[in-house]
């Protein structure tokens, strides 16, 4: 069976903590907060300049400080702000990282934070007095993680505020509705509701698109792969020049010929045996980075067939 393969099996959601990406994110956030508080107390002028450069702001983006979409995720407005975000990251990040792996977890986390920050900045243009201030905090990334957990494990039983039991799917809907209402009807608050909404939507889309799966190509990975293919193709043409003809050209053309589309209408067991098993053997022998775009599409097709069972 497809799910019996070691590299296709969903990891156990146990409480692994040592050397996890979740733990490192918490350590880095706490370290940045301690350093910023020391700087605030000892060198307030330098602290102010650092905030102008690293916190997300409309003015900063207009000046080309695009790195703020990343750096704002490590800054926090106070100890309570830091504690809430790190608690959420600790509770939801560990099971998600175990479920989808460290690499995809980090991609989801930072993508959620970046999209959330960008949405907050864009809406700040329309509601400057309410949404146009400085933005700091890891909450957009954390909300993306919570949304992903809720989509992957909708029946997971949670204790909200450590007291009220609630299914993960219900928590997602509550967060989504609250964030959307607070964005549509802005109130005077220091909470970046648009960033929360952006993080939630990113987490939902990420799971819906299957980007949490290692063999699925994300949009930017697809762009990078096409750029690499183009670069290799141009380099080959430059080296061979006009000599790329005859039998050599035929062999090159044969290599570039895309693999035939797998027969989608085959029974699931036969489809996996004929089309998917050779690809999984290739992953086992050479790693997932050795797959072609067509082979990744075949695995994605196999995933969709499994979901329909």
Query: Pseudo-torsion of CA 98, 101, 107, 108, nearest 10°?
Result: -40
pLDDT tens digits, residue range 165-180? Answer: 888 889 899 999 998 9
Give domain 7-208's CATH number out of 3.40.50.300, 1.10.260.40, 1.20.1580.10, 1.20.1540.10. 1.20.1540.10
Contact 117, 138 (CB under 8 A): no
pLDDT at residue 140 in the model: 96
CB burial of residue 40 (10 Å; 0-12, 13-18, 19+): middle
Q: What is the DSSP letter of 71?
A: H
pLDDT at residue 276 in the model: 76
Determine what percent of the chain is predicted with pLDDT higher than 70.
75
Q: What is the pTM of this model?
A: 0.70
Residue 135 sits at φ, ψ, to 5 deg, of -120, 125
Determine what percent of the chain is predicted with pLDDT higher than 90.
43
Residue 122 or residue 185, greater confidence: 122
Sequence spans of domains, the chain: 7-208, 219-307
- Average pLDDT rounded to a whole number, residues 154-161: 81
Residue 145 or residue 286, greater confidence: 145
């Amino acid at each position: 069976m497809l799910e019996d393969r070691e590299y296709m099996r969903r990891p156990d959601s146990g409480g692994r903590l040592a050397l996890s990406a979740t733990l490192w994110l918490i350590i880095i956030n706490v370290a940045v907060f301690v350093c910023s508080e020391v700087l605030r107390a000892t060198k307030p002028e330098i602290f102010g300049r650092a905030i102008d450069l690293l916190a997300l702001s409309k003015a900063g983006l207009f000046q080309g400080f695009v790195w703020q979409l990343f750096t704002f995720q490590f800054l926090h407005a106070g100890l309570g702000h830091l504690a809430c975000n790190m608690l959420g990251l600790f509770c939801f990040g560990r099971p998600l990282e175990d479920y989808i792996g460290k690499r995809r977890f980090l991609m989801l986390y930072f993508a959620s934070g970046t999209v959330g920050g960008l949405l907050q900045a864009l809406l700040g243009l329309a509601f400057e007095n309410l949404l146009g201030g400085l933005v700091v905090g890891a909450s957009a990334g954390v909300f993306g993680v919570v949304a992903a957990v809720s989509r992957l494990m909708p029946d997971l039983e949670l204790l909200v505020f450590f007291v009220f039991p609630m299914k993960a799917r219900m928590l997602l809907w509550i967060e989504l509705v609250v964030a959307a209402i607070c964005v549509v009807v802005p109130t005077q608050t220091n909470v970046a509701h648009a960033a929360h909404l952006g993080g939630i939507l990113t987490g939902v889309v990420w799971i819906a698109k299957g980007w949490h799966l290692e063999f699925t190509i994300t949009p930017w990975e697809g762009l990078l792969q096409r750029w690499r293919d183009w670069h290799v193709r141009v380099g080959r043409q430059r080296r061979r020049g006009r000599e790329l003809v005859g039998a050599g050209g035929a062999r090159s053309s044969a290599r570039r010929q895309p693999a035939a589309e797998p027969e989608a209408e085959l029974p699931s067991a036969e489809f996996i045996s004929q089309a998917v098993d050779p690809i999984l053997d290739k992953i086992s022998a050479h790693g997932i980075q050795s797959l072609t775009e067509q082979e990744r599409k075949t695995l994605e097709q196999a995933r969709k067939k499994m979901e329909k069972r």
